[in-house]
Structure 1
Amino acid sequence: MSETKLPVPARPASTVLLLRDGAEGVEVFMVVRHRDIEFAGGALVFPGGRVEPDDQALGGADALDGFRIAGIRETFEECGVLLARPRGEATLVDATRLLGIEALHRARVAKGEQPLSAMLAEERLEPAIDGMVQFAHWVTPLSRSKRFDTQFFLAAAPPDQLAVHDGYESEDSVWITPARAIEEANAGQRRLVFPTRKNLEKLGRHATVAEALAAARQAPVVTVTPEMVQTEQGWRLTIPAEAGYGGSVFEVLDAPAI
């Protein structure tokens, strides 16, 4: 008698769409995943990663704040951008102070040798969770061997901090408009995965960072778990229409993440 195979649990994860206003509209910071990484290797993605116990503890009683903290940590690790402010101050860490913080802590936090909470305490900083605006929630289908429960957040990039890929998990980076990223993927110049494509399309409706943040604060977030279905036109991916992606059935344009 064969045993029923249980679904793999979905790991909590956080993804950050770091935004700035550019000459052609909203630009988002994206990294090219190292090609040797199993999940989405070689793909153009938003910075992000797993939620760690320290993130959840630092986030407190609000579970979503744990995801926000994870996004702040991952943005620091992968981009060198720190969405935190000195205690009692309204503005984020400036570029001059960030240089010292990065030199002391970035590699240690990235390697798991120092939790983010310890770094913030040592530097007398507090995470800017108020600037992390929930944008989307995607969960990998039950059929996949590696699954994530991912919260997507929008955040305005600090204007004086320089975003640069880490050279380990990511091998390149770019500030790019959503339309350009999709255009280059369609031309075969870049690789996207389905959630990235759909969230680029959703972000691309807005002309400015302020407009994108305001819209995200007002819009309800509906959980998306894509499912593959057979239609008269061939295989298609379905998601809830109420999730706000302009439909519920989409052509499969991108290779799987794994």
Structure 2
Amino acid sequence: MDDCGAPVPLRDASTVLLLRDGRAGLEVFLQRRVAGMAFAGGMTVFPGGGVDPADGELAIGWSGPDVGWWAEQFGVTASRAQALVCAAVRETFEECGVLLAGPTADLVVADTGDYQQARRRLERRELSLAEFLVQHDLVLRADLLRPWANWITPVGEQRRYDTRFFVAGVPPGQHADGLTTEAADVGWRRPADALADWSAGVSILLPPTWSQLRLLAGYPDLATVLAAEPAIEPVEPELDVDGDVVTVYFDGQDEYYAAGVHPWTTR
């Protein structure tokens, strides 16, 4: 709620479950956010962030399912769908150094080292994704992304996001890193191991992150994840505040509260 008691308006956001096949199975890239951040500070999360107005710019090369297909998958307008996909590509590059784009519709950048200055400018909002792609004659590879889930921050939080989750594999030759001001630590983890860290108190997971890790733990490899066609149904948990006790109600809550750490520092 805001200071007047009205629900805080929702802001569109995109989150990417960045995946690879490791020696022991499927691995996902995770970040522990800087503790002092306004939203999810200190939490272990997937890369992602809010949609910027510039993410909806139209003058870019685009490869893969068109915006109409993405709009249908996520239940939004075509303009919002484009902004969500562009935000997913931009945030993945800003936060991980992984660029889902290439010089042609069927190629992808193999080494992002030449684009590090642009990456910093994107992070500082001195450059839009569209400007970056046009300047470097790159095509956005929407075909490297798959729609995965939709979670909405519950009413009662001070910051609320309507977040679309995507899955994507790391392109050959590229490497995810932690060169972002938003992450205190990064790394690849098997989903089951990330859940074990949370149960042991090593990390802190919000319900959406925990839920997606549980889903990923059931997949043996990247190909199986990319071949999945999950139904994208909006999930909006309910928030209950009783004094200092904050409870989030959602499908799977009993298991979530049975084993894990749940300090609600986002409030």
Normalising by the smaller structure, the TM-score range is 0.7 to 0.9
Aligned to 2:37: 37
Q: Residues 193 and 257 of structure 1 are in contact (CA less than 8 Å); yes or no, is this contact kept in structure 2? A: no
Identical aligned residues as a percent: 37
Aligned to 1:162: 175
Q: Tell me, what secondary structure is at the counterpart of 1:154?
A: strand
Unaligned regions of 5+ residues in structure 1, if any?
Answer: 241-246
Q: Residues 54 and 116 of structure 1 are in contact (CA less than 8 Å); yes or no, is this contact kept in structure 2? A: yes
Q: Tell me, what secondary structure is at the counterpart of 2:57?
A: helix
Question: Where do 1:20-35 residues align within 5 Å?
Answer: 20-35=20-35
The change in CA–CA distance for 1:79 and 1:73 in structure 2 (over 3 A counts) is same
Question: Where do 1:59-208 residues align within 5 Å?
Answer: 61-87=78-104, 89-95=105-111, 98-102=112-116, 104-208=117-221
The change in CA–CA distance for 1:6 and 1:101 in structure 2 (over 3 A counts) is same
Question: Where do 1:217-236 residues align within 5 Å?
Answer: 218-228=229-239
Unaligned regions of 5+ residues in structure 2, if any?
Answer: 61-66, 68-77
Q: Residues 154 and 239 of structure 2 are in contact (CA less than 8 Å); yes or no, is this contact kept in structure 1? A: no
Query: In 2, Cα distance between the equivalents of 1:116 and 1:236?
Result: 38
The question of 1:255 aligning with 2:238 is answered no
Q: Deviations over 1:155-197 (max 9, x none)?
A: 0111211111124111211011110001011111112111111
Deviates more, 1:14-23 or 1:247-256: 247-256
The change in CA–CA distance for 1:191 and 1:249 in structure 2 (over 3 A counts) is closer
Q: Residues 151 and 162 of structure 2 are in contact (CA less than 8 Å); yes or no, is this contact kept in structure 1? A: yes
Q: Deviations over 1:53-85 (max 9, x none)?
A: 111224863522321110110011111110101
The number of residue pairs the alignment matches comes to: 241
The question of 1:238 aligning with 2:249 is answered yes
TM-score when normalising by structure 1 = 0.86
Query: In 1, Cα distance between the equivalents of 2:147 and 2:21?
Result: 19
Query: In 1, Cα distance between the equivalents of 2:107 and 2:113?
Result: 17
Q: Tell me, what secondary structure is at the counterpart of 1:42?
A: coil
Query: In 2, Cα distance between the equivalents of 1:36 and 1:143?
Result: 20
Aligned to 2:73: none
* Aligned CA-pair RMSD: 2.2
TM-score when normalising by structure 2 = 0.84
Q: Residues 237 and 250 of structure 1 are in contact (CA less than 8 Å); yes or no, is this contact kept in structure 2? A: no
Q: Deviations over 1:82-111 (max 9, x none)?
A: 010113x4121111xx21122x30111110
Query: In 2, Cα distance between the equivalents of 1:235 and 1:144?
Result: 11
Aligned to 1:17: 17
Q: Deviations over 1:188-207 (max 9, x none)?
A: 11121111111100111100
Which amino acid letter does the alignment assign opposite residue 118 of structure 1?
Answer: E
Which amino acid letter does the alignment assign opposite residue 255 of structure 1?
Answer: P
Q: Tell me, what secondary structure is at the counterpart of 1:39?
A: coil
Q: Residues 235 and 251 of structure 1 are in contact (CA less than 8 Å); yes or no, is this contact kept in structure 2? A: no
Query: In 2, Cα distance between the equivalents of 1:140 and 1:45?
Result: 14
Q: Residues 132 and 154 of structure 1 are in contact (CA less than 8 Å); yes or no, is this contact kept in structure 2? A: yes
Query: In 2, Cα distance between the equivalents of 1:77 and 1:235?
Result: 33
